[in-house]
Amino acid sequence: MDFSLNEEQKLIQEAARDFAQTELLAEVIERDDAQRFPTEEIKKLGELGFLGMMVDPKYGGSGLDTLSYVIAMEEISKIDASTSVVMSVNNSLVCWGLEKFGSEEQKEKYLTKLSTGEQIGAFCLSEPEAGSDATSQKTTAVDMGDHYIVNGTKNWITNGGTASTYIVIAQTDKDKKHRGINALIIEKGTPGFEIGPKENKLGIRGSDTHSLIFNDVKVPKENRIGEDGFGFKFAMKTLAGGRIGIAAQALGIAAGAYELALKYSKERKAFGTEISNHQAIAFKLADMHTEIQAARLLVYQSALDKDNDRDYDLSGAMAKLYASKVAMETTVEAVQIHGGNGFVKDYHVERLMRDAKITQIYEGTSEIQKIVISRSILK
Ligand code: CAA
């Protein structure tokens, strides 16, 4: 398989790298400390076409392939994973699902605003008692003829407070189990829809994570995505692509930490020489470099599978499982190479280490990825 980038993809990589350096780096530590959402930065990302990268230009998107998207995700995540998760959720969990499965009216009404960043979207599946076990949805969407009445609570929702458009997964017919689940578009401000408190998190602290509460929320039938009962399949198909985005985020976090560790090791001296001259450090760098490249190949492979209409459930799950492990291990080693400085916020690697952890949890934990992978290879 040829993984070389074409001229357009190289330009996208350069543009994303440039944006991360000039727009994200300066205040990334402060945003993390203050748990401040990157409002202005997200607006600019939207203007540059990074929030609807794979969407058809007729709906305001950039019309690019998944490989371009993961390249951009890697570059943004090297500097600021809080910003890249907003980008990932908007691109793969919201815009992609709407374009692929939404009605023409839904695309006109919602997708055109979401793909340009005029509005931000959120994907609402997890609940207090249904995270990994996604079929056990407690949120209900009772069919009232021309509308649904939604009741329940969603948890850990990325963009929970800042989004305008929410795709909410809810149970309509419990007897039908996962085949009785629907995906509904719910607008912020709909009566009965409340935004719960913001979570105080270990990592990706600049992103905006909330619980959401639905109390007798009336949702018109035309806001259902796909046929009655399609909601669970919609969520699974959407998450399969989302996992490629998070794998790219994990790759970027790992690569960012590695680049910092490499630079530091050539500057910092101990025992009369740069620490990179000590084999203890040089071997760590060798491992990091090798594992990051292996993760990158898996991420690119899953993106190319998606772009070429091949199955990407397996390759996306492998990419996420492996890249998130590499992110965790690489960032821990990057802190170690930095020694005492690694424990201090100014050097960035402690933040990358905290940010890495979530990539093993959201959009399917590592254990869920192993379920997907093992079922695929054993079937
Ligand atoms: N594509 C299409 N359909 C799929 C599918 C896929 N990738 N995976 C499963 N399905 C379908 C199955 O075919 C089945 O349908 P039929 O019976 O009609 O054939 C149905 O879904 C149920 O499948 P399973 O029997 O395999 O369901 P399960 O209960 O064993 O669960 C699971 C499967 C893979 C473990 C799934 O529950 C899962 O992915 N869980 C993790 C959920 C998750 O990722 N949560 C993260 C929340 S989102 C988030 O983090 C967002 C954020 O803000 C960042």
Q: pLDDT tier at 18 (50, 70, 90 boundaries)? A: very high
pLDDT value for 87: 98
Closest CA relative to residue 251, chosen from 161, 322, 334: 322
Over 90: is that where the pLDDT of 131 sits? no
pLDDT value for 253: 99
Rounded distance between C-alpha atoms, residue 301 and residue 345, angstroms: 34
Q: How many CB atoms lie within 10 A of CB 222?
A: 12
The DSSP H or E segment spanning 86 is: helix 81-88
Quickly list DSSP for 344-374. Answer: SGGGSHHHHHHHHHHTTTTTS-HHHHHHHHH
Handedness of CA 290, 296, 298, 301 (dihedral sign): negative
Residue 73, both tokens: 């995700």
Give catalytic status of residue 74 as yes or no. Answer: no
Q: What are phi and psi of 6, to 5 degrees?
A: -85, 175
At 247-268, the pLDDT tens digits run 999 999 999 999 999 999 999 9
Does 236 sit in the ligand 1 pocket, CB within 6 Å?
Answer: yes
Residue identified by tokens 């990539």 is 359
Phi-psi category of residue 339: left, alpha or beta, with phi > 0 → left and psi -120 to 50 → alpha: left
Kindly report the protein residue whose alpha carbon is nearest to atom 46 of ligand 1: 363
Biggest distance spanned by C-alpha atoms of the chain: 78
Q: What are phi and psi of 154, to 5 degrees?
A: -115, 150
Kindly report the protein residue whose alpha carbon is nearest to atom 29 of ligand 1: 135
Does 211 sit in the ligand 1 pocket, CB within 6 Å?
Answer: no
> Using an 8 Å Cβ cutoff, are 230 and 170 in contact?
no
- Active-site choice (23, 127, 333, 363): 363
Residues 6 or more apart whose Cβ sits within 8 Å of residue 337: 261, 264, 265, 275, 281, 284, 285
Kindly report the protein residue whose alpha carbon is nearest to atom 3 of ligand 1: 233
Over 90: is that where the pLDDT of 298 sits? yes
Rounded distance between C-alpha atoms, residue 260 and residue 273, angstroms: 18
Mean pLDDT of 154-178: 97
The DSSP H or E segment spanning 258 is: helix 231-267
> Using an 8 Å Cβ cutoff, are 138 and 129 in contact?
yes
Q: How many CB atoms lie within 10 A of CB 192?
A: 15
Does 361 sit in the ligand 1 pocket, CB within 6 Å?
Answer: no
pLDDT value for 3: 81
pLDDT value for 166: 98
Gap from CA of 205 to ligand 1 centroid (Å): 27
Over 80: is that where the pLDDT of 1 sits? no
Gap from CA of 80 to ligand 1 centroid (Å): 29
Kindly report the protein residue whose alpha carbon is nearest to atom 5 of ligand 1: 236
pLDDT value for 312: 98
pLDDT value for 358: 98
At 202-257, the pLDDT tens digits run 999 999 999 999 999 999 999 999 999 999 999 999 999 999 999 999 999 999 99
Does 90 sit in the ligand 1 pocket, CB within 6 Å?
Answer: no
Residues 6 or more apart whose Cβ sits within 8 Å of residue 53: 61, 62, 64, 68, 69, 72, 91
Gap from CA of 236 to ligand 1 centroid (Å): 4
Does 232 sit in the ligand 1 pocket, CB within 6 Å?
Answer: yes
Closest CA relative to residue 22, chosen from 32, 14, 30, 33: 14
Pocket test for ligand 1, best of 159, 201, 236 (most atoms within 8 A of CB): 236
At 177-202, the pLDDT tens digits run 999 999 999 999 999 999 999 999 99
Mean pLDDT of 279-294: 98
Gap from CA of 66 to ligand 1 centroid (Å): 21
Average pLDDT, the chain: 97
Reduce the secondary structure of 279-320 to three states and give it as a string: HHHHHHHHHHHHHHHHHHHHHHHHHHHHHCCCCCHHHHHHHH
At 41-82, the pLDDT tens digits run 999 999 999 999 999 999 999 999 999 999 999 999 999 999
Over 80: is that where the pLDDT of 2 sits? no
Percent pLDDT > 90 in the chain is: 97
Residue 373, both tokens: 């992978």
